[in-house]
Amino acid sequence: MLLHRRPILAFIAVFCGAAFFGGPVLTQEKSIVVASTTSTVDSGLFDYLLPIFTQKTGIAVKVLELGTGQALDAGRRGEADVIFVHAKIAELQFVADGEGVKRFPVMYNDFVLIGPQSDPARIKGEKDVAEAFRAIKDKQAPFISRGDRSGTHSAELALWNKELGIDIEKQKGPWYKSVGQGMDETLDVAVADKGYVLSDRGTWTNFKNKGDLQILVENDKRMFNQYAVILVNPDRHPNVQKELGQKFIDWLISPEGQKAIADYKIDGKRLFYPDGTLSVFQVR
């Protein structure tokens, strides 16, 4: 059974010379399946980006909206042509294992630490995100974790385990809630519980039900969030649409694709930065 929250169809079909209603479809649909991190969907980026690609190429894109770990698993099962995720170590392992052809950085943004206005852990304005995490644990203030092996969950675990030396699975208490859900759903829980939560900035910006939550910690270089695409290895999975999938990757990293990513904004705010743009973090 395919493990995904809600597959979305970016563009249903390409018709040539036939009216939308009535008349035969003259060409067979060209399409690919992209297993993608939830943030490309929850941020609204794909709703903006994919129709541009389809209009340019005639290739429809069907999206499996998954956490990064599940997206990579879908690639290992040959259920996707392209993987679009944000967990570099896992991506490199995917390629090293022969499941993917090559990793292409596409864009970046950053993570933000969200919390209630009451801020019981007193972390607002903290410059060190790891110390903010420590304060949350010391105060035993509510913390909501995605708990779904996503790129965001991996980034959270790196802060607990690598930066603080805390095995959160062993040291967590009632204050720490792992929900096993996507970013939008996790933010909904944080709103209801007035809890702290790590989110990618794009999803947070597009999230409508913010309640009294706000960004409390940001701009630590460890919160850098790189996205990359990988073609699933057709030698391992012969059903992979190699040429069509590579066209999608090539378009994303082309000047046209990079400009489309840069042009996507909400209330005048850019949500993602193409890799050709100078990064203040200087990390990929």
Asked if residue 117 and residue 94 are part of one domain, the reply reads: no
Asked if residue 219 and residue 138 are part of one domain, the reply reads: yes
Residue 283 pLDDT grade (very low, low, confident, very high; cuts 50, 70, 90): very low
Asked if residue 134 and residue 69 are part of one domain, the reply reads: no
Residue 80, both tokens: 């996707």
Q: What is the pLDDT of residue 28?
A: 59
Answer yes or no: is pLDDT of 50 > 70: yes
In a domain, 284, yes or no: no
Q: What is the pLDDT of residue 29?
A: 78
Q: What is the pLDDT of residue 8?
A: 43
From 11-15, 109-113, 280-284, the region with the lowest mean pLDDT: 11-15
Q: What is the pLDDT of residue 20?
A: 37
In a domain, 254, yes or no: yes
Tell me the per-residue pLDDT of 128-165, one tens digit each, with 9 for 90 and over.
999 999 999 999 999 999 998 889 999 999 999 999 99
Asked if residue 202 and residue 117 are part of one domain, the reply reads: yes
In a domain, 264, yes or no: yes
Integer Cα distance of 187 and 184 in angstroms? 5
- Which pTM value belongs to this model? 0.84
Average pLDDT score over the chain: 89
In a domain, 194, yes or no: yes
Answer yes or no: is pLDDT of 124 > 70: yes
Domain with 202 in it: 110-223
Asked if residue 145 and residue 68 are part of one domain, the reply reads: no
In a domain, 1, yes or no: no
Percentage of the chain surpassing pLDDT 90? 84
Residue 275 pLDDT grade (very low, low, confident, very high; cuts 50, 70, 90): confident
Asked if residue 231 and residue 91 are part of one domain, the reply reads: yes
Residue that is last in its domain, among 223, 250, 265: 223
Specify burial of residue 21 (Cβ count, 10 A radius: 0-12, 13-18, 19+).
exposed
- List own/partner pairs for 132-135 with CB under 8 A and 24 or more apart: 132/216, 132/217, 133/159, 133/160, 133/163, 133/164, 134/164, 134/166
Asked if residue 148 and residue 206 are part of one domain, the reply reads: yes
Q: What is the pLDDT of residue 15?
A: 33
Specify burial of residue 195 (Cβ count, 10 A radius: 0-12, 13-18, 19+).
buried
In a domain, 166, yes or no: yes
From 166-180, 208-222, 263-277, the region with the lowest mean pLDDT: 263-277
Q: Find the CATH number of the domain harbouring 210.
A: 3.40.190.10
Asked if residue 94 and residue 72 are part of one domain, the reply reads: yes
Counted domains in the chain:
2
